[in-house]
Amino acid sequence: MNPVEIIISKRDGKELSGEEIKYFIEGYTSGNIPDYQMSAFLMAVYHKSMTADETAALTTAMLESGEKIVFDSQDKKYIDKHSSGGIGDKVSIILAPLMVACGLKVPMLSGRGLGHTGGTLDKLESIPGFRTDLSMEEFKTGVDSIGCAITGQTPQIAPADRKMYALRDVTGAVESVPLICGSILSKKFAAGPNSIVFDIKCGNGAFMKTIEQAKQLGRSLFDICRAMNKGAAYLITDMNQPLGKAAGNALEIDESSAALRGKGPDDLMQVVFSLGECMLRLGEIAEKEKAIQLQKEKIADGSAYEKFMKMTAYQGGDTACLEKNKPLKPARKVISVKSNKAGYIRSIDTYRLGRLIIEMGGGRTTVGQPIDHSVGFIIHKNIADKVDENDILMDIYSNAKLSDEYLAEAFYSCFEIVDQDVQPPELIKLKYRGTG
């Protein structure tokens, strides 16, 4: 085989064989195929796309480029969850221990903040001592002994993806759906799950702005999983406003801890329970109403919170901080944002809210930049809510990196208030229950 011929075939829209894709990825990982040829290949894929079989072969080749964790390949109870990212999306932190309490095993590789969205690893690192850099052996031991572990990608996992992503970022090929799917799934399946449930966020605070874009990504991820003989299901959920009340790293840990003790906001728990129902069905534990009821029971009896504490302790986190039932990392000041008129909230610029947290220091603008875990906000009013003049829309948790006046004005500008009644957005826009 010849790299140039493979590039030309894909450039001309032809379907590549699994052998051709494997040859190309192995050659690039080993250094035998240079960056400029991989760049050409990536751009050809960007313009001509890939079939589900091609993308499955690409994902498998990227997966095989590094080390993998192997659990029982026939055990359907090893299930992960992936979100495409949003503001206030702390679902993974709640869902992993909850699913373990229900009888599943959850080996979860997660990421840091990306663009305007927060990252699960950054949130967990709000807990003093919590390690998100487990070795593959430590990760497997955690899943075996506790039932779940949440950690970041190690250098040994999918090295082909790391090299390819760096090129995609500088060659304008980031938005390719096959390349997005290959990147996500090669890392996820390296952690050993037999199924994945996807939460595809849709709206102004998501990467997928339209329902059509979200459906394309969800269906692509599902089809590739099936081509790899893996179980899959996906939901499309609303991200036109923050999920839950809290946004910001430590504030989201506080809310996650409260949710596991039965005090989670209704919208957050609806997404948790819907994703959990898919996971429990794929794991052949329970379906539909029984799956929802099982989750509620495991929160009510304290076993879900207990699993969270055990995972935290195993990963070096200070459980005493969580037990105090006080803010994990209090900010220096709280600034209340009040409405200057009466009416109804028609829209919330959720993307802007995420960018403002980053401006406050709660996210990164450069790789490796330290972040302030304490900043963020608690939102009190959502789309369609009626507000009166001087009602508090949100509270900003600030460490005075930016002036109070700037923050109050900037956050207030994210709310559109009108005179007419407004219909609330549908939270669960689509549920594709999939197959195991």
**Which domain CATH number covers 26?**
1.20.970.10
Q: What digits encode the pLDDT tens for the residues 34-64?
A: 999 999 999 999 999 999 999 999 999 999 9
Q: 12 with 150, same domain?
A: no
Catalytic choice (65, 83, 183, 195): 183
Q: Is 237 part of any domain?
A: yes
**Helix (H) or strand (E) run with residue 238 in it:** strand 231-238
Q: 154 with 258, same domain?
A: yes
> Which segments within 4-144 are labelled E, that is strand?
79-83, 106-109
Q: 316 with 351, same domain?
A: no
Domain span at residue 16 reads 3-48
Question: What was the pLDDT predicted at 431?
Answer: 87
For residue 288, give the CATH number of its domain: 3.40.1030.10
> Which segments within 177-221 are labelled E, that is strand?
195-202
Q: 408 with 311, same domain?
A: no
Question: What was the pLDDT predicted at 436?
Answer: 61
For residue 338, give the CATH number of its domain: 3.90.1170.30
Q: Is 101 part of any domain?
A: yes
Catalytic choice (80, 89, 122, 161): 161
Q: 88 with 44, same domain?
A: no
Q: Is 129 part of any domain?
A: yes
Q: 217 with 283, same domain?
A: yes
Rg (Cα) of the chain, in Å, rounded? 22
Q: 385 with 318, same domain?
A: no
User: Is 168 annotated as catalytic?
Assistant: yes
Q: 261 with 364, same domain?
A: no
| End-to-end Cα separation, the chain, in angstroms | 36
Question: What was the pLDDT predicted at 113?
Answer: 66
User: Is 391 annotated as catalytic?
Assistant: no
Q: How far, in whole angstroms, is CA 62 from its chain's centroid? A: 21
Question: What was the pLDDT predicted at 44?
Answer: 97
Q: How far, in whole angstroms, is CA 33 from its chain's centroid? A: 32
Q: 17 with 84, same domain?
A: no
Provide the 10 A C-beta neighbour count for residue 368: 6
Q: Please list the ranges in the chain whose pLDDT falls under 50.
A: none
Catalytic choice (22, 81, 82, 215): 82
Question: What was the pLDDT predicted at 218?
Answer: 93
Rounded distance between C-alpha atoms, residue 87 and residue 414, angstroms: 13
Q: Is 243 part of any domain?
A: yes
Q: 344 with 304, same domain?
A: no
User: Is 395 annotated as catalytic?
Assistant: no
Catalytic choice (105, 123, 187, 188): 187
Question: What was the pLDDT predicted at 73?
Answer: 67
Question: What was the pLDDT predicted at 62?
Answer: 95
**Closest listed residue to residue 121, CA positions, set 324, 327, 364, 304:** 364
Overall domain count for the chain: 3
Phi-psi region of 390 (alpha: psi -120 to 50; beta: other; left: phi over 0): left
Q: Is 133 part of any domain?
A: yes
Q: Is 73 part of any domain?
A: no
Q: Is 71 part of any domain?
A: no
**Closest listed residue to residue 1, CA positions, set 23, 18, 22:** 23
Q: 315 with 393, same domain?
A: no
User: Is 195 annotated as catalytic?
Assistant: no
Question: What was the pLDDT predicted at 75?
Answer: 80
Sequence-ordered list of residues with C-beta below 8 angstroms from that of 235, at least 6 positions apart, any chain: 197, 198, 199, 200, 218, 271, 274, 275, 278, 428, 430, 431, 432
Catalytic choice (112, 140, 168, 281): 168
pTM for this predicted structure: 0.91
User: Is 386 annotated as catalytic?
Assistant: no
Question: What was the pLDDT predicted at 143?
Answer: 96
Q: 270 with 406, same domain?
A: no
